[in-house]
Structure 1
Amino acid sequence: MRRLLAAALSAVQIVPAGLATVAAALAPWAGPAAALVGDSPAAAPVLARHVVLIVGSRGSSCTGTVLAPTLVLTAAHCVQPGADYKLVSFDAARRPTLLDVAAVLRHPGFDMAALLGHRATADVALLHATAPLPTPFVAAPLGRTDAIAVGDPVTVVGLGVAVRGDGRSGGTARMATLAATGRPGSLQLRLVDPAAGGERPGRGACTGDSGAPAFRDENGRAVVAGVVSWSTGPKLAAGCGGLTGVTPLVRYRAWIVDSAQRLGVALSP
């Protein structure tokens, strides 16, 4: 188990998860560190309490959103068949504990080939824990609308690594407030650092941030509007720091709610 945790915290996947090694993922950033989600300021506690680290037996790591004490939302590409997954809890001294997962549910409409082909797909999944997550984890509410327009702010909170070359900064919740760009819709949402515009290195999701929640304001409270699925480098190059691709939840909210009910889990209102 310790080997599993060590592998995960050394950040072995990039968005989409599990498709690149650390060296390959960080290669585009051999120069000055970029200000990505993993190198952004620590997330506000009110948001950080909603995210949990997910590690896989094949060395993957992703971010998940706590929807209930025993239910975590993440990206479907983060939980591949044939692998085992654990949730990671840290105590006040940053000592980790691995928590067992009883069941993994991927949306039946998820298509990995579509994701790799840069096409929208149902990139959402649920992990059902065998026991409740400890404090300070708190369930996050699901959004109910899809009214996102160009320029609207969306905050991504991830547990990925900082782009500093050593890959040892995973597991710290960090946040970046990005802006919707392109043609926001119910199939795919593209986010960009408004200060960089996608033309130069900016903030965005990177290694270990797959499955991270995208929060937006809904009637004065932060709700989960989507999960992180992919990223690009500046000017649509490979890597991170350009666009952050999010799978909106509006099409899949009913599946999430129904799956939770079948598992006997009550979601946050």
Structure 2
Amino acid sequence: MRALPTLALAVLTLIATPAWAILQGSASRDPNGLRRSVVSIESSTGELCSGVIVAPDVVLTAAHCMTDRAAYRVTGLSRAFRQQRFNVAALAIHPTFVPGTTPRTQPGIDLALLKLNRPVGPEFLALDPTQAGRIDVGDGVTIAGFGVLTERARGTARTLRQTNLVSLGPIEVANRVLIVVDRDRLAETAGAGACRGDSGGPILAATQTGYLLYGITSWSSGPLRSRQPSACGGLTAVTPLVEHLGWIASTMRGLSGLNSAWSGN
């Protein structure tokens, strides 16, 4: 399967917003599943994003989720799906990120790392970002997040949902992102994908032994043939981790100390 040849041009004509829930996704109810690694991030101003645990006290998310002058709180789910809350003690935003720009005009890298005030504990599972590989055209991926079930149903946020998408490959508009879409709809008409609340959530590759973390959700758009303005159900744009492992590793060492799980020592 090939990426749509006019995809980059089409993106410029779409409404693209930060991916604030998994549209047409299913609730994640497996106590040994993605609830162990995927968390929600909420600011004191009420903004909601998603993130993924990458060390016992470090969460990876999207940079645009962390630009408010606010306090931030991370919430994970116990085996019984009860909320476990952690405060953000420090954060690092990728140095190329430019605050105040829209997702499709953002020239920098939409990644941020958060240090929590305490480790998440043994109920949770950190996903090693250094194991990230490249996602090729036609590869299947899983996305997960705490966003809304449908674009206008804001009350449906804060439930962990996941869905499976397929890669159309990378595009470069203002920066380089990977585009993933509903396998059946291919972004032509409304289908599954990220929506409001899913920014910062993980893009994963499923294996026989678990999930590999490959990227972070940055923004979403409506379908190419939408008659009404929409920010969901079309393209889901991913910041691929394999291209930024140097910054991730060095920043995690700075946040967690030289004995960090990813320090290489």
TM-score by length of 1: 0.78
The answer to whether residue 214 in structure 2 is matched with residue 229 in structure 1 is: no
Give the Cα–Cα distance (whole angstroms) in 2 for the partners of residues 257 and 219 of structure 1. Answer: 26
Report the identity percentage: 36
Q: What's 1:3 paired with?
A: none
Q: Any residues of structure 2 matched to 1:77-88 within 5 Å, and which? A: 77-88=64-75
The answer to whether residue 27 in structure 2 is matched with residue 42 in structure 1 is: yes
**Deviation at 1:217?**
4.6
1:16 to 6, 18, 28: 18
1:148 to 127, 135, 155: 135
**Deviation at 1:121?**
2.5
Answer 1 or 2: which has greater strand percent: 2
Q: What's 1:26 paired with?
A: none
**Deviation at 1:92?**
6.3
Deviations 1:189-243 (A, max 9, x none): 0011011111111000011100000012579652111100000011175310000
Q: What is the one-letter code of the residue matched to 2:261? A: A
State the secondary structure of the residue aligned to 1:112. coil
Q: What's 1:6 paired with?
A: none
**Deviation at 1:249?**
1.0
Give the Cα–Cα distance (whole angstroms) in 1 for the partners of residues 183 and 209 of structure 2. Answer: 22
Q: What's 2:13 paired with?
A: none
Give the Cα–Cα distance (whole angstroms) in 2 for the partners of residues 154 and 120 of structure 1. Answer: 25
Q: What's 2:261 paired with?
A: 266
The answer to whether residue 55 in structure 2 is matched with residue 68 in structure 1 is: yes
Q: Which runs of 5+ in 1 are unaligned?
A: 1-13, 19-35
Q: Kindly tell me: are residues 119 and 147 of structure 1, through their superposed partners in 2, closer, same or farther at Cα, counting changes over 3 Å?
A: same
Q: What's 2:12 paired with?
A: none
Q: Kindly tell me: are residues 212 and 15 of structure 1, through their superposed partners in 2, closer, same or farther at Cα, counting changes over 3 Å?
A: farther
What is the alpha-carbon root mean square deviation over aligned residues? 2.9
Count of residues paired in the alignment: 239
Contact 2:24/2:191 (CA < 8 Å) preserved in 1? no
Q: Kindly tell me: are residues 222 and 91 of structure 1, through their superposed partners in 2, closer, same or farther at Cα, counting changes over 3 Å?
A: closer
Q: What is the one-letter code of the residue matched to 1:197? A: L
Give the Cα–Cα distance (whole angstroms) in 1 for the partners of residues 17 and 58 of structure 2. Answer: 22
Give the Cα–Cα distance (whole angstroms) in 2 for the partners of residues 249 and 104 of structure 1. Answer: 18
**Deviation at 1:55?**
0.5
Q: What's 1:172 paired with?
A: 159
Contact 2:26/2:162 (CA < 8 Å) preserved in 1? yes
Q: What is the one-letter code of the residue matched to 1:159? A: F
**Deviation at 1:41?**
1.5
Q: Any residues of structure 2 matched to 1:45-56 within 5 Å, and which? A: 45-56=32-43
